[in-house]
Amino acid sequence: MKQWKSSKWVCFGRRPTSLLQRQFRKYSYLLADKISSLYISKLLVIGENNTNAMFILKKENEQNEKIVEKDYKSKKALELLQQFLETINNFGKSSKDAVDVAIKACKELGPMLVYSHYIEHVLTKEMKNFDKSDNDIKQYLSRLIEINSKIRDKAIKIVDSFYEEAHKQLQKKFPNKDIDYYLLDELEKKELNQNSRKKFYVYLTLKEKSYIYVNHEAKEFLKKEGFTKKTVDMPSELKGFPAYKGKVKGDVVIIHTIKDCKKLTSSSIAVAPMTMVQYTHYLKKVKALVTDEGGINSHAAIVARELKIPCIVGTKYATQALRDRDYIEVNANKGIVRKIR
């Protein structure tokens, strides 16, 4: 398996989202400083094979991690999360234009999800290491996990639903264009040759400007930014965070899109880069969940706790190491995924 790597940039996640959707969601990252001490100056997206990998500058990421760890220790994180939840609960439409509403949701709620992402990393780490006999820390962690789960669940549903409305409006306005491979300001222009973008593109966005590169230009840009495509060795066992305990065996179904969910049966173990709200209905029937990304507050972890099914998140490579119909054991008591055949 090969992945893009750079000493200057760090991967912030891989998502099966379109270029158009990524343009909406850029505000979540670039406006993080509007609601907290976090700062992200640039967002780099590499789109390849219907999945995009998001990168932020390594120095900024390290600084943000230190800020949120400090917030956790000082209990400022609890205060911020409570404020975020109140804002989310009171969020409403302020315009009849679906595109404007979707952008507003990304600008106002998206940065809260970025902070939520960082605090989730801290909480996941703390859950692994804290002294279970310390009731004060246990209660503090439980409270943060509870509020952060609500924030992620509610905010993601709002942002996603408003984007879907915006997408329908734009598709109706531009019925002859595959709008997923356009940026907003390109839709009014003449038809683009989208084949190159469908295969491979690089999208760099700053607070005021955005750039998109394809073909040779994209590769040259990545080279200047220190990117190389490196082979990652697959471990014999996958390890992650046990979001809900249990031990089961079953057949792998790799989930990249909502269409893949239709393959799930009662004997399936769903394996995905991450799960999304749209998957929830289909996940009710599976034996277990395994994801590449996420922590204790990820959608997969929340769903697994609700459905009481074994779940391991943050394995990094599950979707690359496993294939459809592989027979695997998910030991969510220990956080280990093992391929049987």
Instruction: Fill in the amino acid letter for 123.
Output: L
pLDDT one-digit tens code per residue, 265-299: 999 999 999 898 889 999 999 999 999 998 899 99
The sign of the CA dihedral 241, 330, 298, 197 is positive
Count helices and strands in the chain by DSSP H and E runs: 12, 15
Q: Give the domain ranges of the chain.
A: 2-186, 237-339
In this prediction the pTM is 0.88
Model pLDDT, residue 131 = 66
Torsion of CA 26, 28, 32, 38, to 10 degrees: -90
DSSP H or E stretch at residue 313 = strand 311-313
Rounded Cα–Cα distance for residues 190 and 43 (Å): 27
What is the pLDDT, as a whole number, of residue 172? 96
Q: Quick one: pLDDT at residue 160?
A: 93
String of DSSP letters for 220-231: HHHHHTT-EEEE
Give 38-94 pLDDT, tens digit per residue. 999 999 999 987 788 999 999 999 999 999 999 999 999 999 999 999 999 999 877
- Which residues in the chain show pLDDT less than 50? none
State which H helix or E strand residue 212 sits in.
Answer: strand 210-214
Q: What is the DSSP string of 179-196?
A: GGGS-GGGTTSSPP--HH
What dotted CATH number matches 237-339?
A: 3.50.30.10
Tell the residue number behind the tokens 């600084």, with chain if given.
Answer: 63
CB 204 within 8 A of CB 19: no
Structure confidence at residue 42 (pLDDT): 96
CA dist 102 and 43 (Å) reads 19
Cα angle, residue 88 at apex, residues 82 and 89 outer, rounded to 5°: 90
**Looking only at Cα atoms, what is the longest distance across the chain?**
65
**pLDDT for the residue numbered 133:** 65
Instruction: Note whether 34 and 45 are within 8 A (CB).
Output: no
pLDDT at 236: 76
Q: What is the DSSP letter of 34?
A: G
Identify whether the C-beta of residue 290 lies closer than 8 Å to the C-beta of residue 311: yes
Distances (CA, A) of 265 to 121, 262, 285: 31, 8, 6
CB 337 within 8 A of CB 313: no
Residues 6+ apart with CB under 8 A from 91: 105, 108, 109, 158
Rounded to whole angstroms, what are the CA distances from 333 to 136, 291, 313? 25, 16, 12
CA distance 147 to 241: 20
Write down the pLDDT at residue 51.
81
Angle at 7 (CA atoms; ends 181, 126), nearest 5 degrees: 90
